[in-house]
Amino acid sequence: MKRISTCFICLFLFSSQIQLQAEELYNCVVPSELGGSDGFNRGFLISAFPGFTLDKVYLFFEVATPGAATYSLTVRDSTFGGDLLGVAEASYDFSIADLPVPIVFDFRQLAIQQGTRVTFVIEQLTGDISTFYSTAGASAGCPVLETDTINPLVGISIRGAVHAIVLGDAEEPTASMALLENPPDAAGVSGVTSISGWVCDATRVEVEIDGATRVEAAYGTPRADTMDVCGDIDNGFGLLVNLGIFGDGEHTIRLLADDIEVDSGTFTVTTLGGPFVSGLSGTFDLADFPEAGQQVTIEWLQSLQGFVIIDFVE
């Protein structure tokens, strides 16, 4: 294995050089002398996670020779083999001139229960450069600790403090700014349609109907109209549903972002006697619609369990 001068993970001290968008949960002191590690068959843990979300982790890498590499940082519950909580990847093309290099792993406000024992597992995914990281022999008051073996018991075989900045939210998150647009509140609906709207910031968006059926919606489609509210545009969500399966009558709907209710409403379903009818056909003219003197022609479409516009005469 090719040796390198030093590769170390550190809680990034030079915070004045980066714009921190979330609260610093930990920023350990880097000592003047670093202890060496023996590669990526190790990780580090936080015995009691101090916040409710994980935003970013800044790590410091240094190599002896130039080269490109890609890394993953995996977050697991308790140990290396614990339940997967999240993963972030980062790449960098190293050169001698710009070492040492801070690399950011972005977890996008990953929800983590406060007090959870969290293990970070680091892996080099690509690149032919050997990478090592270092830990401090001691870093007073820093609970970000290196674990020892491939699958250690939490709290066993701790070597020392790891150097990194951990960012997140220390306060319990509140409901995101969001809007459930379809179906509109108290609307009459039928057929196969899209439940849709937008959520400013979430990892997982779900729709719950009648307190029982909860389904994850596709999330992150461009919505340019949300830029002023959210500060970005990748906020749209959508879920294709045959509303007839819920039966005739009024139903409740809840929109959840990372298990937090962000909007809700009711809708009333009308069916033609069942959730999906077949064998029907029909084309009809609607006079004086949408305005006097105009005409719309509609046709029954079985796949949508409803009517669609096929012609418009002004």
Instruction: Report the CATH number at residue 199.
Output: 2.60.40.650
| Number of separate domains in the chain | 3
Contact 280, 191 (CB under 8 A): no
* 16: confidence class by pLDDT, cuts 50, 70, 90: very low
Domain contains 275: no
Residues 190-245: tens digit of each pLDDT: 999 999 999 998 889 999 999 988 999 999 999 999 998 888 899 999 999 999 99
| Least reliable range by pLDDT among 8-17, 24-33, 157-166, 274-283 | 8-17
User: Which pLDDT does position 216 carry in this prediction?
Assistant: 96
Residue 165 lies in a domain: yes
Answer yes or no: do 115 and 61 share one domain. yes
Answer yes or no: is 3 within a domain: no
Co-location of 94 and 238 in the same domain: no
Residue 79 has pLDDT above 70, yes or no: yes
3-state class (DSSP) for residue 1 = coil
Same domain, 98 and 210: no
pLDDT tens, residue by residue, 113-143: 899 999 998 888 998 887 666 565 555 567 7
Q: What percent of the chain has pLDDT over 70?
A: 78
Reported pTM: 0.56
What is the model's pLDDT at position 135?
60
In a domain, 5, yes or no: no
Distance CA(217)–CA(197), nearest Å, equals 10
Please answer whether residues 160 and 30 qualify as being in contact, where contact means their C-beta atoms are separated by less than 8 angstroms: no
Q: Write out pLDDT tens, residues 100-121.
A: 577 899 998 888 989 999 999 8
Identify the bridge partners of residue 216 per DSSP, sorted by sequence position: 206
Same domain for 62 and 127: yes
Residue 276 within a domain: no
Q: Same structural domain for residues 155 and 182?
A: no
β partners of residue 297: 285, 311
In a domain, 301, yes or no: yes
Among 115, 136, 169, give the residue marking a domain's end: 169
The parent domain of residue 106 ranges over 15-169
Are residues 165 and 47 both part of a single domain?
A: yes
- For residue 61, being part of any structural domain is answered with yes
25 and 158 fall within a common domain: yes
For residue 22, pLDDT over 60 is answered with yes
112 & 233 share domain: no
